[in-house]
Amino acid sequence: MEIVAAETAAIDLQLPRARSVASYLMSGASVAASLVSSQRSGSRETLIVDLTPEVGQLPKIDIRNVERVSITFDASDTTWPSVSALREDFPVGLPHTNGCEAGERPTLCIATERFTDLRHMLTAADLIERIRYWFGATSSGKLHQDDQALEPFIFGSGMSLILPSAMQDVADGVSAAYTVEECEAGWYRAVPRSNSSQRATPACLLILTTPARVHGLTRTIPRSLVELAKYIDDETYSLITNIRAALTTFRDNPVSKSMLFANLVLLLRTPLSREPGLEPERVDVKALWLYGLDGVAKALGVWEVHRGERIGIVKAEVSAAPLRILLLGVEYALDAELAAAYNGLSSATHPRFTAIGAGALGSQVLLNMARSAMRPSAIIDDDHLAPHNLARHGLFDFSVGYFKATALSRELDDLINDGHRTTAVPEDVMAVLTPVEK
């Protein structure tokens, strides 16, 4: 049954944030914004608002002195309100607009902060001024600063795939070394096949690097391989041709025979530049879930399955039209360099030191140092982790009964799994030291 948005008086709004903004606009406290109407549809409430942004006499972008917008609030109150410009001839393809489905109005990206970080401090006046600033800065062409991070080439869907940090530098091609686990609420994780659980889905990861592109050119979310290719292809590069070539090479790999019911996940790496002709500044990585590997291979004329066996086929014409995709953002597992960057350090320093003592204080210090990419070469402590230690210790119940040095070393190495191994020395430090050191 279709839900039709019903006109409702501002006083009848049920969502606290929608009521707050409506009350602010109706109070006359803002001379640059006024409430036109409000609507309710299911768990969402929308305010139609006329804004008066600060627009110069000669705007670079067609922003008018009065812009009508819709501000939509969701009952969950976990994401930024959705803001769209309602003018029919409003410019498209502007920086700092979010990806949308084909035919829909793009929403404005009014903040770089996570909504959950500001939710309890965000006032109605602050929200309205953020929207006004977006219009004013866009009109002058200054919304995206020269030193600001580049926008994605392809916008994600709000779901994410976590990849091992080692995959940042892996070469193009097909890898069958991983499975994909579904976590919660649209998050997935690629796990080495040797460590996979019953929740894992067999998957082949196809890694492709495209030619460099200018950032932020796509504003809709592609839902099929054909739609994606329209953004990627040019006179020198064909996405579907490169996928077909990679699968043809993989077909001759003995490992492919064991991947009969696997899914195919395309990892697309696109170098991004700020302007045409400039050197790329970063690489935009997206994961595209293409579902059944065999279905993709058959549609692209690479192989088909007959009586449980793969048979190579050759087609002059291939059809990627029915190949639907699920677009995921990509996050990399924490490694030393990422840990350093997240803590404001230019790079991981990898200091060499030995930790003596892994008790309540030592465990907390070492765990926090590890999160800043500083891990010891060895930990010396001859004590076991007892249940009463958990009141203050950094380790958890599953480590009870093990030597503190052993359990903490394992925890540090699992926290940043980049090949570094901390040596556990479960001995009395006085027995370990040489006479000179004593």
* Alpha-carbon gap, residue 173 to 176, rounded angstroms: 10
pLDDT for the residue numbered 3: 38
Residues 269-278 as b/e (b if ≥16 CB within 10 A, e otherwise) read bbbbbbeeee
* pLDDT per residue as tens digits for the range 270-309: 998 887 888 998 898 999 888 888 888 888 888 887 776 7
pLDDT for the residue numbered 25: 94
Nearest to 205 by CA among 227, 180, 223, 168: 180
Beta strands, E only, 108-177:
160-163, 173-175
pLDDT for the residue numbered 157: 65
CB atoms under 10 Å from CB of 228, counted, come to: 24
Q: Where are the domains of the chain?
A: 6-139, 160-333, 337-432
CA atoms 409, 411, 415, 418: torsion sign: positive
Q: Residue 106 belongs to what H/E stretch?
A: none
* Alpha-carbon gap, residue 251 to 300, rounded angstroms: 13
Please provide the average confidence, as pLDDT, over all residues in the chain.
85
* pLDDT per residue as tens digits for the range 94-144: 777 776 555 667 788 888 787 888 889 999 999 999 999 999 988 988 876
Burial status of residue 333 (CB atoms within 10 A of its CB: 0-12, 13-18, 19 or more): middle
pLDDT for the residue numbered 83: 93
pLDDT for the residue numbered 156: 65
pLDDT for the residue numbered 361: 95
10-residue mean pLDDT profile of the chain (438 residues): values are: 48 89 92 92 93 89 93 91 92 73 74 83 94 91 72 74 87 86 86 76 89 74 83 89 90 78 89 86 89 85 76 64 83 89 83 91 94 91 95 94 96 86 91 62
pTM of the model: 0.69
* Alpha-carbon gap, residue 137 to 145, rounded angstroms: 10
Q: Which residues pair with 190 in a beta bridge?
A: 180
Q: Which fold has domain 6-139?
A: Ubiquitin Conjugating Enzyme (3.10.110)
Q: Strand, coil or helix: what is 180?
A: strand
Beta strands, E only, 63-153:
67-74, 82-85
Q: Which CATH number fits domain 337-432: 3.40.50.720, 3.40.350.10, 3.40.50.970, 3.40.1160.10?
A: 3.40.50.720
